[in-house]
């Protein structure tokens, strides 16, 4: 199959360059997401994600930044799913780590797989109706941001720390290491070392997404990606597309083999415009030079679902949505579920949070952690405060600044400092002054509230252990929390010297009320 002489003209030759550029751009933005730089533009990739924007707009969150998503949503009319082939970092990695050639699953399996995007969209729609954004766990941009935030940056943190430790052994280098450390602290290197919950699960999810491509080439992009499905839906109405000169086409099938997206149909003549990503591998391999990008492509969509099939899918999705939401009772009772300051009320939060972990990346103290099942299945990967990992920094409101969907409101610093997200409760059985009679004072020392939410009371208290049995004496300073002053920032819980569960712990106080919209 001799290649023509003047093949490979046009922008598609530089597809790999585009992908590398956007990957670097993505990581530049994400790396710059640290205190106090945070601006919404750090989340540009998420804002340009039509699925995420659609879900937000349906939930009544309209912000002009979502206009970024409009060109992306309309692009399949003109350039196919170029977003998938040229921009999407997830698509790039799927391609990079996937097989180079077609894997040829059985025809039957392939038929089922080709139906998946339509079903996926129906499920997404049903979940939106049920007020759950849990499908965004699988949104490629959200998935990639989350994986990068929770896996790459902790690794970078560890690596830089280790490199610094090693270089520090050579005395002449210490000055250099110190100045680099000074520059990176709170940006790429953190005093406690970044750790996220569920890192292994996130890794498995990410690797799994890439690995399915070994069953079928780019299986994720072709059949599973919900954003790809949405863009494909628009792509069905494509105005421009892959046009084949049927007079010269010999139906040799080279393009069918070459297409990484399984978009070439009827031995080369027609195109599945819901999959074509305008990579034009088909044109590159065509020995007759009969393929080009042009007006009114001949379309053939593998699967045009009947109304009946869609109804079935919708019914299934509704049942699924119902099942997913049966976890709500649990949230109602779970007072350990403390959301970042400025978070919407629980039901709204579940409906709008993009699960992108952008807030976790921006948090300078690592207090924001992905929820496992504390918020129910529907709250998987939503941000939750873990006050043993960190505390809400008094001078920081980054999480709201970078949240692409306003699931966490962007509160001005003064307002954030007044935002009550929980309340600290002292466990008298483990608190050192209350149970052992020694002064401790740490929780009071670190409380940032100007009116002092933690004060000391001296003197006998009825429920304290008697002094002669090792309990507090009349002089012991016993910490107490003043309920209406505490904002639940968790400085006390973080710094409490009692190991494992601290003797002072923050519980959510608004959880039960906030369940009503």
Partner 1 sequence: MREMDRRTFLLSTGRWLAIAALAPTASGCARLLRWSDSQGGLNESDVAATDGAGSLTTTTDAAQSTTTTTPPIPQLAVIKGESPDLNVRAAVAQLGGMERFVRPDAKVVVKPNVLTGRAPEYAVCTNPLVVGAIVRMCFEAGAAQVTVLDNPTSSPRAAFQECGITQATQEAGGTIKYLTNRNFETIDIPGAEALDSWPLVTDVFEADTFINVPICKHHDGAGLTLSMKNLMGIMGGNRGRVHTKLATKLADLCTLVKPQLVILDAYRTLIRNGPGGGSLKDVEMPKLCVAGTDQVAIDAYGCKIMGWDPMKLSTVAEGARRGLGSPDLSTMDIYEGAT
Residue whose token pair is 């350039």? 79
Q: Cα–Cα distance between 225 and 212 in angstroms, integer?
A: 12
Report 158-177 residues binding partner 1 (CB under 8 A). 161, 164-166, 168-169, 175
Could you tell me the CA-to-CA distances from 292 to 8, 18, 246, 496, 505 in Å, in that order? 11, 20, 12, 67, 65
Q: How far is the CB of 418 from partner 1 (least distance, A)?
A: 12
Report 432-451 residues binding partner 1 (CB under 8 A). 432, 438-442, 444-451
- Choose between 185 and 266: whose C-beta lies nearer to partner 1: 185
Q: How far is the CB of 155 from partner 1 (least distance, A)?
A: 16
- Choose between 395 and 473: whose C-beta lies nearer to partner 1: 395
Tokens of 383: 């941000």
- Choose between 114 and 361: whose C-beta lies nearer to partner 1: 361
Residue whose token pair is 């110190």? 178
Q: How far is the CB of 391 from partner 1 (least distance, A)?
A: 7
- Choose between 237 and 413: whose C-beta lies nearer to partner 1: 413
Q: How far is the CB of 401 from partner 1 (least distance, A)?
A: 14
Sign of the torsion formed by the C-alpha atoms of 277, 282, 285 and 291: negative
181 touches partner 1 by CB under 8 A: yes
**Between 392 and 431, how does the x/- string for binding to partner 1 read (CB under 8 A)?**
-xxxx-----------------------------------
456 touches partner 1 by CB under 8 A: yes
Contact of 237 with 229, CB cutoff 8 Å: no
- Choose between 221 and 447: whose C-beta lies nearer to partner 1: 447
Residue whose token pair is 């004496």? 473
- Choose between 393 and 427: whose C-beta lies nearer to partner 1: 393
Report 17-56 residues binding partner 1 (CB under 8 A). 35-36
Q: How far is the CB of 361 from partner 1 (least distance, A)?
A: 15
Report 290-319 residues binding partner 1 (CB under 8 A). none
> Helix/strand/coil (H, E, C) string of 130-194?
CCCCHHHHHCHHHHHHHHHHHHHHHHHHHHHHHHHHHHCCCHHHHHHHHHHHHHHECCCECCCCC
Report 309-368 residues binding partner 1 (CB under 8 A). 364-365
Q: Cα–Cα distance between 167 and 177 in angstroms, integer?
A: 7
Among 495, 507, 512, 515, binds partner 1 (CB under 8 A): 495
Residues 487-505: b if buried by 16+ CB within 10 A, e if exposed: bbbbbbbbbbebeeebbbb
- Choose between 174 and 250: whose C-beta lies nearer to partner 1: 174
Tokens of 209: 């997404």
Q: Cα–Cα distance between 91 and 100 in angstroms, integer?
A: 14
Contact of 515 with 347, CB cutoff 8 Å: yes
How many residues touch partner 1 (CB under 8 A)? Answer: 48
Q: How far is the CB of 477 from partner 1 (least distance, A)?
A: 6
- Choose between 57 and 455: whose C-beta lies nearer to partner 1: 455
388 touches partner 1 by CB under 8 A: no
- Choose between 110 and 428: whose C-beta lies nearer to partner 1: 428
Which window, 83-91, 249-257, 420-428, 492-500, contacts partner 1 (CB under 8 A)?
Answer: 492-500
- Choose between 259 and 496: whose C-beta lies nearer to partner 1: 496
Q: Of 190, 188, 182, give the one whose Cα is nearest residue 156.
A: 188
Among 151, 205, 455, 480, binds partner 1 (CB under 8 A): 455
Sign of the torsion formed by the C-alpha atoms of 207, 209, 215 and 216: negative
185 touches partner 1 by CB under 8 A: yes
Q: Of 394, 404, 399, give the one whose Cα is nearest residue 340.
A: 399
Tokens of 50: 């039509």
Q: How far is the CB of 447 from partner 1 (least distance, A)?
A: 6
Q: How far is the CB of 492 from partner 1 (least distance, A)?
A: 11
What is the DSSP-derived secondary structure letter of residue 374?
A: T
Sign of the torsion formed by the C-alpha atoms of 120, 121, 126 and 127: positive
- Choose between 201 and 446: whose C-beta lies nearer to partner 1: 446
Rounded to whole angstroms, the maximal C-alpha distance in the chain is 103
CA dihedral 318, 323, 329, 335 (to 10 degrees): -100
Q: Cα–Cα distance between 428 and 478 in angstroms, integer?
A: 10
The binding site for partner 1 (CB under 8 A) comprises 35-36, 161, 164-166, 168-169, 175, 178-179, 181-182, 185-187, 189, 191, 364-365, 391, 393-396, 432, 438-442, 444-452, 455-456, 477, 491, 495-498
């Amino acid at each position: 199959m001799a290649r023509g002489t003047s093949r490979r003209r046009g922008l598609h030759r530089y597809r790999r360059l585009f992908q590398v550029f956007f990957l670097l751009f993505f990581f530049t933005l994400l790396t710059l997401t640290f205190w106090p730089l945070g601006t919404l533009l750090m989340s540009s990739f998420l804002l340009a994600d039509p699925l995420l924007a659609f879900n937000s707009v349906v939930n009544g969150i309209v912000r002009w930044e979502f206009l970024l998503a409009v060109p992306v949503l309309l692009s399949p009319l003109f350039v196919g799913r170029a977003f998938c082939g040229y921009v999407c970092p997830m698509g790039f990695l799927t391609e990079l780590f996937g097989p180079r050639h077609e894997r040829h699953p059985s025809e039957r399996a392939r038929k089922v797989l080709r139906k998946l995007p339509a079903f996926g969209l129906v499920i997404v729609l049903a979940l939106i109706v049920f007020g759950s954004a849990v499908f965004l766990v699988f949104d490629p941009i959200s998935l990639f941001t989350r994986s990068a935030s929770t896996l790459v940056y902790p690794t970078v943190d560890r690596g830089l720390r280790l490199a610094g430790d090693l270089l520090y052994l050579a005395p002449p280098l210490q000055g250099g290491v110190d100045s680099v450390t000074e520059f990176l602290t709170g940006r790429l290197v953190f005093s406690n070392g970044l750790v996220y919950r569920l890192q292994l699960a996130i890794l498995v999810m990410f690797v799994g997404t890439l690995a399915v491509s070994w069953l079928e080439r780019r299986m994720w992009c072709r059949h599973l990606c919900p954003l790809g499905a949405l863009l494909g839906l628009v792509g069905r109405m494509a105005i421009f597309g892959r046009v084949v000169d049927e007079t010269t086409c010999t139906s040799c099938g080279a393009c069918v083999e070459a297409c990484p997206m399984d978009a070439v149909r009827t031995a080369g003549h027609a195109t599945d415009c819901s999959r074509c990503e305008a990579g034009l591998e088909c044109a590159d391999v065509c020995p007759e030079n009969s393929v080009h990008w042009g007006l009114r492509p001949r379309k053939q969509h593998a699967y045009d679902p009947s109304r009946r099939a869609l109804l079935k899918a919708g019914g299934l999705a509704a049942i699924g949505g119902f099942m997913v939401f049966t976890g709500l009772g649990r949230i109602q009772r779970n007072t350990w579920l403390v959301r970042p300051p400025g978070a919407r009320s629980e039901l709204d939060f579940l409906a709008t949070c993009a699960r992108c972990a952008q807030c976790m990346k921006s948090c300078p103290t690592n207090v924001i952690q992905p929820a496992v099942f504390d918020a129910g299945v529907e709250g998987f990967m939503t941000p939750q405060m873990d006050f043993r990992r960190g505390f809400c920094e008094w001078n920081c409101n980054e999480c709201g600044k970078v949240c692409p969907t306003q699931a966490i409101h962007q509160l001005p610093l003064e307002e954030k400092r007044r935002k009550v997200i929980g309340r600290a409760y002292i466990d008298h059985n483990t608190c050192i002054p209350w149970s052992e009679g020694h002064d401790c004072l740490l929780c009071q020392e670190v409380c940032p509230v100007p009116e002092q939410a933690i004060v000391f009371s001296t003197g006998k208290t009825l429920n304290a252990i008697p002094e002669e049995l090792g309990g507090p004496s009349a002089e012991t300073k016993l910490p107490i929390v003043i309920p209406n002053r505490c904002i639940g920032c968790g400085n006390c819980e973080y710094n409490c010297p009692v190991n494992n569960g601290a003797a002072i712990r923050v519980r959510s106080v608004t959880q039960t009320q906030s369940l009503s919209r």
